[in-house]
Structure 1
C-alpha cells in the first residue's frame, strides 16, 4: 500500500526519540552486525556511519532526500577521511608494536578510543542534519512503499548520488557486500526472511 509522500510527523517524532548513537550501539551489538559493517567498510569502502544512519531512518519508515543526501554525504566523508580514517590508520600501524610494548599498547588503546569518539561525532552530525533542519527544508521523507527486500532498499540509499565509483562498483557486484547488507537488514526487520 502506498503512503503519503508528505512527511508523517509521527515518524519524525519517533526518530527524535531515538538518538542515533544509542541506535548504533544497539544495532552493532546484534549478531553478525559488527562483521557486516566491517565487510562494508573494508570491501565496499563504505562509511559505516552512513550505513547506520540509513538503518536508523528505515526503522522509522523514513529515507533521505537524494539531493540533500549528496551534499551531506560529502561533508561526512570529509570528516571520515581527515579524522576517523587517520586515527584508524595509526591504530592499525601500531598493532605489531603494541604486541611487544605495554606503552605502545596503551597509546594504541588511546587512539582506538579517539577513533570511536570520531565515529560518534560523525553520527551526531548525521543526526543533527535531520533533527535541526527547518520544517520547510527537511532532508528526509516517508518511505513511500515499504520494501519487500530491505537489503535492496539499503543498497539503493547508499548509491544515491554516490561520487565514489569504486565503492559503487563494489557494492553492486561483491557477494560479501550484498550478504553484509542482508545481515544488517535482517536485524532491522527480523521477519524479512519469512515473507
Structure 2
C-alpha cells in the first residue's frame, strides 16, 4: 500500500473537518444507537470507526489492515487510559454508588460528559493529523468504501460482509446501518 495521493492535501484540511463530519453523522437517525452497540457489545472505538467512515466516504481512501493498525496504535492508549475511564465514571454516576444519583452528582455527571467529549475530540484531532501519514489506497469515495473501512476496523473479513449467520452478524448490521446513514446524508 502507498500513502495518500497528495498527502499535503489531507494536512491542509480544515483542522476540524473530521470532527464536523462526525457530529453530522452521529446526529443522523439510528447512528448513535449503532455506534453505542458497536462500542458496548464489540468493544470498538467509535472514534476509530468514524475515522474509517470519514476516510472512505469523504476522502476516498481505503485503510486496509496496515492503515487500521497505524490509526488504532496511535490512539489506543488515549482511548484506554483517558476516554474509556471517563465514560465508565460518567455511566457509573447514572445510578450509583450513593449518593448518586442525586442533583449534585447529576451536575458532576454533566461536567464529566463535557470532559469526555473533549477527550474524544483530542482523539479525533490525533486521527485527522495522522491521516496524511498512514498507509492507504485511493478508491472511489462513498458509503461502500466507508463500510469496507469500518469492517476492517471491526476485524470482519471482506468476504463475509453480507453473511448474517455467524456471531458477528449484529456487528455487520450496525456497520451497514452506519453506511446507509452516510448514503442518506449525501
TM-score (norm 2): 0.76
8 Å Cα contact 1:147/1:153 also seen in 2: no
Alignment partners' CA distance in 2, 1:6 and 1:74: 17
Instruction: Indicate which of 20, 29, 42 corresponds to 1:31.
Output: 29
* Secondary structure of 2:95 counterpart: helix
2:176 is aligned with 1:182: yes
State the number of aligned residues.
172
8 Å Cα contact 1:27/1:33 also seen in 2: yes
Shift of 1:77: 1.6
2:113 is aligned with 1:119: no
Shift of 1:158: 3.5
8 Å Cα contact 1:44/1:177 also seen in 2: yes
State the match for 2:167 in structure 1. 173
Query: 1:91-170, aligned counterparts within 5 Å?
Result: 91-97=90-96, 100-131=101-132, 133=133, 139-143=135-139, 151-159=147-155
Structure 1 unaligned residues grouped into runs of 5+: 161-171
Structure 2 unaligned residues grouped into runs of 5+: 157-165
Map Cα deviations across residues 113-136 of structure 1 (whole Å, 9 max, x no partner): 1111111111110001124x4xxx
Shift of 1:151: 3.4
Runs of 4 or more consecutive aligned structure 1 residues displaced over 3 Å after TM superposition: 5-10, 12-15, 97-100, 144-153
